Amino acid sequence: GENVEQHPSTLSVQEGDSAVIKCTYSDSASNYFPWYKQELGKRPQLIIDIRSNVGEKKDQRIAVTLNKTAKHFSLHITETQPEDSAVYFCAGVYSGGSNYKLTFGKGTLLTVNP
Amino acid sequence: NAGVTQTPKFQVLKTGQSMTLQCAQDMNHNSMYWYRQDPGMGLRLIYYSASEGTTDKGEVPNGYNVSRLNKREFSLRLESAAPSQTSVYFCASSALPSQGNQPQHFGDGTRLSIL
């Protein structure tokens, strides 16, 4: 099955700096990679996703890049703000069959210091 | 539109007691999932139901059972609770993959403590 590894496990940045979180996956058939943000005590919420036929996707201050050859994808947050502080999870899945099981990374605790 | 609703939000059990966690979604999604979240372990899939009438084991199914009651509802049962099952449980739902890659939508979670 799929294995997703996420680094770093913790990341501390100053407000206004950029933050980058990286994930690698093992199953070359995986074709969908969502990113979730989870604030303390809250549910995980989708913030951005990327399909395997796309190399990069942006949404305001966040972007995700995908390198299918190297089997890794990254989340980029620019101009970080204190409200970006949360745990971020990457995930990967092959959704070509009848089953649709996301495999999550273990998460990155991002702290944005004012 | 409530999305995914989980009940209860909090529960304390004694070892050996049983209980059922309830989950309902109002997004007409075919697929539903149960995860547990433990510190440093991310989200681990317990069971999932790709469509009404089917259920399959995930990564950590031992000690749990599930029922897909209908398209809207997917319950998780602990028959004999153990302290190792102390965790936060999340239910999620998504549209069928045949409809294109679809994100999963999560409920607010159930915080379960077993003494």
What residues in chain B have per-residue pLDDT under 50? none
Interchain proximity A102–B102, CB inside 8 Å: no
The residue in chain B having the minimum alpha-carbon distance to the alpha carbon of residue A30 is B101
Rounded distance, CA A60 to CA B87, Å?
Answer: 34
Per CB-CB distance under 8 Å, the chain B contacts of A107 are: 40, 42
Does the CB of A107 have a partner CB in chain B at under 8 Å? Answer: yes
Which burial class, exposed, middle or buried, applies to A30 when counting CB atoms under 10 A from its CB (0-12, 13-18, 19+)?
A: buried
Greatest Cα pair distance in chain A: 46
pLDDT in tens, B99-111: 566 788 999 999 9
pLDDT in tens, A3-47: 899 999 999 999 999 999 999 999 888 888 999 999 999 999 999
For residue B115 the two structure tokens come to: 């003494």
pLDDT in tens, B26-44: 999 989 999 999 987 889 9
pLDDT confidence band for A98 (50 / 70 / 90): low
